[in-house]
Amino acid sequence: MICIVHETPVSSETIAPTQRRNYTMKKTNLIKAAAVLSMLVLALVITGVPGTAFADVDSVSITPPASSSIPVGGTVVLSGSAIQSGEPTGLAYSWRSSNTHCSLSSPITNTSITVTGLSVGDSDITLSATDNVTTTAVDSLPQKITVTPMTLKYSSVTLAPNNKAQIEPQNYTNQIKYESDNPSVATVDKDTGVVKAVSSGTASISVTNTPLNGGAIQTLYYIVTVPTVTISPSGATLSAANSEVTLTLAVANGGSLIPDNTVVTWFNDNTT
């Protein structure tokens, strides 16, 4: 800081000796005060005032540092911190997501934040920090959050009539509802997912998840096949003793109730 003392010229002929001495003293004191003030400002610039020393953001980090996976509707809490040089003051944080697969809790200026999975995909979560000196925000390394879909342990089953199976969804939040598109072939409990075969044919069971926290609805399909075992021909007439006919075991309507290496036993209810 430079102080300029403006002095208005005064004719010596108009100032009495006593006034001239007072004027000279005031002028001297003013110059001394300006010099002291200039030295004080210079000292503040060089040394700083305790508690207001200059600081700068060196780095920003997020914990946990590893990538995270969450289901649709699931959440994970991230925390951030910054390292500063000098006296750490005036830190301001701001979180952001690279896309809409994830949402961030409010306010985004907290040191920690809750990330919610809204739809399947990857999002990069970044934390920025500034302070009272840094004019450009310093970013952390992006933290990848992967939102993963609901799955089924098994996506299909083959059942004989009156047999049952349990649908097993995995990696989901909140509730699941089940519905059969062909109840005459297979029924399903809408809440428990227990399937019961009724008659020959194929049915598709919809498995619908409504996630927590506003996540996107997900639907998968579980295929139920109820085959019919037949013998061909269904009947024959033997006209002479020791004559023969070949019978063939077959499965109709798709699927297989006869796995490989199965032993099939035939019997006759009238050997006469």
Which pLDDT tens digit goes with each residue over 53-89? 455 888 999 999 889 999 999 999 999 999 888 766 6
Q: How would residue 48 be classed by pLDDT, with cut points 50, 70 and 90?
A: very low
For the chain, what percent of residues have pLDDT higher than 90? 54
The whole model's pTM is what? 0.69
Q: How would residue 7 be classed by pLDDT, with cut points 50, 70 and 90?
A: very low
Nearest to 144 by CA among 118, 121, 172, 112: 121
pLDDT for residue 254 is more than 70: no
From CA 142, how far away is CA 125, in angstroms rounded? Answer: 5
From CA 213, how far away is CA 254, in angstroms rounded? Answer: 41
Nearest to 194 by CA among 207, 184, 181: 207
Greatest mean pLDDT range, 20-24, 25-29, 137-141, 227-231? 137-141
DSSP 38: H
pLDDT digits (tens, 9 = 90+) for 177-232: 999 999 999 999 999 999 999 999 999 999 999 999 999 999 999 999 998 878 88
Question: Would strands 156-158 and 218-226 be described as parallel, antiparallel, or unpaired?
Answer: parallel
